[in-house]
Structure 1
């Protein structure tokens, strides 16, 4: 396969079989290089991890499920180093190019899977989402991105970053193949509709007014009841993002401590700095962050128990250019985590998709109660019929 987008890892091809029929027959599958696939190494975007990997003899159960549903494996994809970024860069293997706008970052950390799907090299991009690593690149590349309910999919033979946030997740070019993926991985069907779509004023006030107006107009097109609320939590977005980042850094350090202590020089400086930050957190700071998560999760559970779906902008601001300086990239990452952390802290599913009738590249998200993944798809189909 010719890959001028640097979406795939440069591994020699190995035979990966798949079922000739099934709900995913005819769909090409690109797999983030965090999942084991028999016949391939697993590098997690790091040269030292690649050197120590060896060729895997077994395939991650979730990948095997997709193959048995008929999906055809087309390669392992590039990822931000250790899956610990939202930008899409990698000092070891390079930054994939955004097919939608080559001047912009592709987004990460599931950068290669997003680019492979956006470039038409794959139909299903399997990745992971910890702090937005599916939703953000999906939004930047004009794709559908699904972060499932935490713990609902098999995560064995998947290299962890922050286990209490990590979820296997997917990208497709439209809603229909994503619906097929949901079915193939065993998400329960849902015929119910939410009582209303909830618009949190404090969140929509953080984005450009014109974009917010376009999104709300798109929501009204579904002819479903719309409700507005001042906020979905008693905590500010900044406090939630701070708690999320504290837990993320702590767990990321624990996941990568051995690698860091053995070979700190093979980790990019920005990634190494985040790992060091996690190693320096004091216990009380971490406990406070977990307490905020527990309280927030309770608030969201009570809110969504009313059978509502929360509408959110997927991105907080326009993506930076791929040659932007570290300060611009850090500001983008920080702003987006304010919105993307909500699903991670609550464990709730989120479905991101291009907003219908909006100028430019505008991504809308739906957040629902745990295990309402298929209901989110039903609402999205009303908002954006393929």
Structure 2
């Protein structure tokens, strides 16, 4: 397969069989190179991990479920190193090219899966989302992105980054294949009660006013009950982002400590610096971050008991160019984490999708209670998202 977008890892092909008939028949599947697939190595975006990998003899259960449902495997995809970034760059294997706008970053860390779908090389992009690694590249590439309820999908034979936040998830060009994927992986059907949609004023205040107006107008134009609220939490976005980042850094260090201590020179300097930051956190900081997470989870649980969904802008700022200076990329990541951390801290699902606006699409998200994954798609269909 010709891949001018650098979406796929350059591995020799190996026969990966799939069911001839099933709910995913006819759909091509691209798999992030964090999941084991029999006949292929798993590099996790790092040359040292690739060298130590060997050829896997079994396939991750979630990938096998998709194959058994009829999806056709078309390759393993590029990822940010150790899945520890939101940008899409990789010093070992290169940055995939954003088919929607080649001058912009592709977003990460599920960069290759997003680019494969956006470029028409795959219909389903399997990735992972820890701090936004599906939602952000989906937004940048104009795709539907689904971060499932934490713990709802099988994550065996998947290389971890921060286990209490890591989830496998998917990207598609439209809602039809996303709904089919949800059925294939066993997500329960939504109840028949139509939820209302909350618009948190403090969150929408963080983005451009014109974009806010267009998002809210899009929500109100479809006849659903929509109401604005001041906030969904007593905690500020800064406090939530700090708690999320603290826990993420500690868990990322623990997941990659052996690699760092064995081959620190094999890790890109910016990734190594973030790992080292996680190693220096003290117990008090992590304990306070965990307390904030628990408090926020309780608040969100009470909120979602009222049969509501929360509408969110997916990104806080416009995606930067692929040649943007590292410090500016770090600023971009920090801004985006303030919005992307909410579903991670609460373990709740989020669905990201493009909505039309003059001058190009923008990305909106629906955020719901644990287990409400199918409801997010049902509501998006009512909003006529395609």
Does 1:250 pair with 2:250?
yes
So what's the TM-score if we normalise by structure 1? 0.99
- Mapped to 2, the partners of 1:205 and 1:228 lie a distance apart of 12
Distance in 1 of aligned mates of 2:313 and 2:87: 18
Contact 2:353 2:385 in 1 (8 A): no
Task: Give the Cα separation in 1 of the matches to 2:50 and 2:193.
Answer: 46
Q: Distance in 1 between matches of 2:217 and 2:356?
A: 9
Give the 3-state SS of the residue equivalent to 2:207 in structure 1: coil
Structure 2 residue 182 is the aligned partner of structure 1 residue 179: no
**CA contact 2:355–2:385 (8 Å) conserved in 1:** no
TM-fit CA distance, 1:262: 0.1
CA shift for structure 1 position 261: 0.1
- Could you say which residue in structure 1 is the equivalent of 2:336? 336
After the TM superposition, which parts of structure 1 deviate over 2 Å for at least 4 consecutive aligned residues? 191-195, 356-359
Secondary structure class of the residue paired with 1:354:
strand
1:235 matched to 2:242: no
User: Which segments of 5 or more consecutive residues in structure 2 lack a partner in the other structure?
Assistant: none
Asked if the contact 1:139/1:361 (under 8 Å) is kept, the reply is: no
Q: What are the residue-to-residue correspondences of 1:1-386 with 2, within 5 Å?
A: 1-357=1-357, 359-386=359-386
> Quick check: 1:106–1:115 contact (8 Å CA) kept in 2?
yes
Q: TM-score, normalised by structure 2?
A: 0.99
Secondary structure of 1:278's aligned partner: helix
Give the direction of change, closer, same or farther, for the CA distance of 1:85–1:48 in structure 2 (3 Å limit): same
Change in CA separation of 1:74 and 1:320 when aligned onto 2, cut-off 3 Å: same
Q: How much does 1:385 deviate?
A: 4.5
CA-atom RMSD in angstroms: 0.8
Preserved CA contact (<8 Å) 1:6 1:78: yes
Bigger shift: 323-332 or 243-252?
A: 323-332
Q: Secondary structure of 2:218's match? A: helix
User: What secondary structure, in the 3-state scheme, does the structure 2 residue paired with 1:21 have?
Assistant: coil
Partners in 2 of 1:106 and 1:361 — Cα distance?
15
Indicate the SS of the match to 1:206.
coil
Q: Does the CA contact (< 8 Å) of 1:5 and 1:99 recur in 2?
A: yes
